[in-house]
Structure 1
Amino acid sequence: MMTNACGVDFGTSNSTVGWHRPGQAALLPLEDGKTTLPSVVFFNTEEDSVAVGRAGIAEYLEGYEGRLMRSLKSLLGTSLMEGQTEVHGRNLRFSDLLQMYIDALKQRAESQTGYVLQQAVFGRPVFFVDDDARADKLAEDTLAHIARQAGFRDIEFQYEPIAAAFDYESRITREELVLVVDIGGGTSDFTLIRLSPKAALKLDRQDDILANCGVHIGGTDFDRQLSLASAMPLLGLRSKLKSQAEMPSSAYFNLSTWHTINFAYTRKALSSLQSVYSEALEQDKLDRLFALISKRAGHWLAMQVEDAKIALSTRDHAILQLDEIEAGLTQTITRNEFDQAIARQIDSIESTVKQVLAQAGVLSAAVDTVFFTGGASGVPLLRQRIAALLPLAQVVEGDLHGSIGSGLALDAARRFA
């Protein structure tokens, strides 16, 4: 039986929509036959138009004047959600940006199903915001309000790692104690859950969930650390002034963080950099920084760093090609340098895995399977550290970008049957 209930995985980097159809793939094609829609909105000033997903990225890379907004999910639960940004000469609330994207996500899904999708289970991280229950609740409430504005009538939430567990459970033949490791663009979430074909028939799974933990670290944090370690020093980060003080760092941190890149283009930020130019000992590096800012190429640079991060998951080195900033400028990054750049983040993730085991009162030897999902879960150092904690568990890799959406579709079909 077809249903108008769907599962929505609104991700920091990519999003999916799942629609449960027995015997068929759950994930719906959302753009160019692909089931993922990059979580991007591009405001094209020249054409006075708005594009989302790959189309928005393509217009930005083609050189159209405008504003590229990415990692919108990272705004939920923060004070930025109450703020505004200037787009096409008018102020636009950040909540309206999210609304545009969720609207597009729903419309594309409905064009595939032929149904008006009124019921949805949205995925959510274990914590939108670490150590702040009020901000975390506000983040969920904000997303629910945006979803209702988009036309979803009945909305439920499910933890993303639990949704991934449901997807894995649909393929197993025996009971397993599974640690789900979901490393997304903005968060790392973990669920220790008992799965089995028989348990999959139950609607209430609380008794099967032994523990849930999460930390606000994900792939975009790896991007930021790699950018600060490898790209930003070429633009003057940690270079010295005549006073022997270091260059102010705010512009570099803004340019290394997806959802704050546009802040580096403001008049105030540019004026601050210009005021210290004459004092800089390495003005050639600041010339590169000004070139980047004048071209509004911050997102372009972030994409080069992201590509290098992905390459370093399978190779021992990657090369940044930075001709957009300066002709012939390149930077080679080694796997070891990447590991060093993200060491603190991996330490926090490892501590969270230990926490979930302690919360459940389970020894590592009792865990049958580690199920990896999330686009950033392929980072080698991350895999090595988790394997060292759970040496006896089998490792299963799910659909890194699709397991959560598929699991949410299953959950939606059960809840709204």
Structure 2
Amino acid sequence: MSSAFSLGIDFGTTNTVVALAGPDGPAHLARFPAPEGELFAFRSCLSFNAPPERPSDRQVAAGPWAIEAYVEDPVETRFIQSFKSFAAAESFTETQVLGRRYRFEDLLSAFLLKMREYAGPDMAELPGRVIVGRPVTFAGAAPSEPLALSRYDTAFGRMGFTEVLYAYEPVGAAFFFARTLDRDATVLVGDFGGGTSDFSIIRFERPKTGEGAGEIRSTPLGRAGVGVAGDAFDYRILDRLVSPAMGKGSSYTSYGKVLPVPNRYYSAFARWDQLALMRASRDMREIRGLLRAAVEPEKIARLIETLDENYGYQLYRAVSRLKETLSVREHADFRFEAGSIHIAAAVTRAEFEGWIAPELAQIEAAVDRALADATLPPSGIDRVFLTGGSSLVPAVRAIFHRRFAPERIETGAELESIASGLALIGRERDLSRWTSSSKPSGASGFPGRADPPG
């Protein structure tokens, strides 16, 4: 790829998308000739596999190839998804995979290098600079932004980039959306990923006279974010429908006393990033020890089978199908079947919305913070652009319909908007207005203002 091109990478919790932009015109997406057909949304997952007789012969795969390797040999394959959730976590130092230690930056660089390999000609030659998307607020209880960005620097540096610049993910989506504007407008962009929900407010104008007449000029006005999104919705589904069938809320006996099974097992079990690590954890040894003492051993046996047989991906598919159906229908059937495990339940949209009410409240508060940061009332917003998978959840859309007229709200390009916008930012004359490196302590994309902690 020529240096005349700019490159944008949207590394997401669920999917990663790469876009390339020339000196003019729209950006185009890197394509991957995956086993099930060509695609541009590359699943953010890894698999590690090694024959028992040759443990040093480790095979690493990413994206759909990782899923394919897992489906072919789920027991012997270590499958990791949603690992972006660890980026800003100081508590995550490393994990053991087939006898080798992996830090977050090791996982990310392994993923990026495999993704580049699968992309073929689209990523055969890379420019020195890349524009990488970053959330307004990283996921986690006490996220460390400097730690996350330093880990990103290491991983993208191993990919071959000499300059790594960061732009807020909703700002990337805003640049993508700006192509559709036929008049000056103040735009609120909501980006709903797997781990974070992020909002930016930007003013787009086309001067009619003078230098740059007709070009889109943009001014950042406000932003906010919260570390909850689609994966948090999944957590609620697992916590309500699956964890009770696997022992949550049950008891075990010890020295004549009846004690509750620790809830921490299920807190980890219901999170995709934690589920991938449980089989090799100390908790797993404790869970095995509970089987003989459990009051309802059949439930603990289901949990052990799910972890031992690596059913995490089948579970993810079952939860995703339920969310997708409830986005278009008022009721749906949840069904998880793997090995000897069969869990089924009827769920209404109203029930699901009740489960995710705490997350909806946090998202709603973040929207209001973005408006306050821009010192604008809802009436000051001309257009609203919602992107990302969870923007399709009716209860999420309702947050915006309560504030803005329906004709102002648009959705679309759920997977491509951020990466395409990042590539378009890469050809801006003044990159400092929209990007930063990990080194400065100032703003990223909002010049002259300091980022809030965490």
Is the Cα contact below 8 Å between 2:50 and 2:59 reproduced in 1?
yes
Inter-CA distance 360–327: structure 2 relative to 1 (3 Å threshold): closer
Aligned-pair CA distance for 1:5: 2.4
Q: Report matched runs for 1:66-85 at 5 Å.
A: 66-83=77-94, 85=95
**Aligned equivalent of 1:151, options 128, 147, 160:** 160
Letter in 1 for 2:62: V
Structure-2 separation of matches of 1:353 and 1:74: 22
**Aligned equivalent of 1:353, options 367, 384, 392:** 367
Aligned-pair CA distance for 1:241: 4.5
- Greater helix share, structure number: 1
Moved more, 335-344 or 284-293: 284-293
Is the Cα contact below 8 Å between 2:6 and 2:130 reproduced in 1?
yes
Match of 2:137 in 1: 127
Is the Cα contact below 8 Å between 2:6 and 2:20 reproduced in 1?
yes
Structure-2 separation of matches of 1:61 and 1:80: 31
Structure-2 separation of matches of 1:165 and 1:24: 14
Structure-2 separation of matches of 1:140 and 1:333: 40
Deviations 1:164-222 (A, max 9, x none): 0000001211011111010111110001111234598467x4xx211011111111111
Inter-CA distance 332–245: structure 2 relative to 1 (3 Å threshold): farther
Pair 1:372 & 2:381 matched: no
Deviations 1:7-61 (A, max 9, x none): 1111111011111144455211134321111101111224731111011112212
Is the Cα contact below 8 Å between 2:6 and 2:129 reproduced in 1?
yes
Inter-CA distance 139–343: structure 2 relative to 1 (3 Å threshold): same
Structure-2 separation of matches of 1:235 and 1:401: 34
Match of 1:227 in 2: 238
Is the Cα contact below 8 Å between 1:181 and 1:190 reproduced in 2?
yes
Aligned-pair CA distance for 1:265: 1.4
Is the Cα contact below 8 Å between 2:242 and 2:343 reproduced in 1?
no
Match of 1:381 in 2: 395
Match of 1:58 in 2: 68
Pair 1:397 & 2:411 matched: yes
**Aligned equivalent of 1:303, options 317, 338, 359:** 317
Query: Secondary structure of 1:209's partner?
Result: strand
Structure-2 separation of matches of 1:178 and 1:138: 31
Aligned-pair CA distance for 1:272: 1.8
Moved more, 220-229 or 44-53: 44-53
Deviations 1:78-100 (A, max 9, x none): 125522x2223333333211111
Moved more, 4-13 or 274-283: 274-283
Moved more, 136-145 or 190-199: 190-199
Inter-CA distance 316–45: structure 2 relative to 1 (3 Å threshold): farther
Match of 1:20 in 2: 21
Structure-2 separation of matches of 1:177 and 1:301: 41
Structure-1 separation of matches of 2:341 and 2:154: 47
Is the Cα contact below 8 Å between 1:288 and 1:325 reproduced in 2?
no
Query: Secondary structure of 1:404's partner?
Result: helix
Aligned CA RMSD, in angstroms, stands at 2.6
Match of 2:250 in 1: 239
Letter in 1 for 2:149: E
Structure-2 separation of matches of 1:302 and 1:60: 13
Percent of matched pairs sharing the same residue: 29
Match of 2:221 in 1: 210
Match of 2:113 in 1: 103
**Aligned equivalent of 1:41, options 19, 29, 46:** 46
Aligned-pair CA distance for 1:267: 5.9
Inter-CA distance 326–157: structure 2 relative to 1 (3 Å threshold): same
Structure-2 separation of matches of 1:297 and 1:54: 17
Letter in 2 for 1:40: C
Is the Cα contact below 8 Å between 1:231 and 1:331 reproduced in 2?
no
Aligned-pair CA distance for 1:251: 2.0
Structure-1 separation of matches of 2:12 and 2:190: 16
Moved more, 239-248 or 364-373: 239-248
Letter in 2 for 1:126: V
Is the Cα contact below 8 Å between 1:106 and 1:117 reproduced in 2?
no
Inter-CA distance 334–372: structure 2 relative to 1 (3 Å threshold): same
Is the Cα contact below 8 Å between 2:204 and 2:216 reproduced in 1?
no
Structure-2 separation of matches of 1:114 and 1:409: 17
Deviations 1:329-379 (A, max 9, x none): 423322222112211001000011111112222111221211001122111
Structure-1 separation of matches of 2:386 and 2:114: 29
Match of 2:441 in 1: none
Structure-2 separation of matches of 1:272 and 1:37: 36
Structure-1 separation of matches of 2:380 and 2:299: 53
Structure-1 separation of matches of 2:120 and 2:140: 34
Structure-2 separation of matches of 1:153 and 1:332: 52
Structure-1 separation of matches of 2:70 and 2:397: 34
- Could you tell me the TM-score, scaled by structure 2's length? 0.83
Match of 1:313 in 2: 327
Structure-1 separation of matches of 2:206 and 2:19: 21
Moved more, 314-323 or 3-12: 314-323
Structure-2 separation of matches of 1:51 and 1:130: 26
Match of 2:98 in 1: 88
Is the Cα contact below 8 Å between 1:169 and 1:197 reproduced in 2?
no
Aligned-pair CA distance for 1:328: 4.8
Moved more, 106-115 or 71-80: 106-115
Query: Secondary structure of 1:157's partner?
Result: strand
Moved more, 163-172 or 285-294: 285-294
Aligned-pair CA distance for 1:153: 1.4
Query: Secondary structure of 1:322's partner?
Result: strand
Is the Cα contact below 8 Å between 1:169 and 1:196 reproduced in 2?
no
Aligned-pair CA distance for 1:157: 0.9
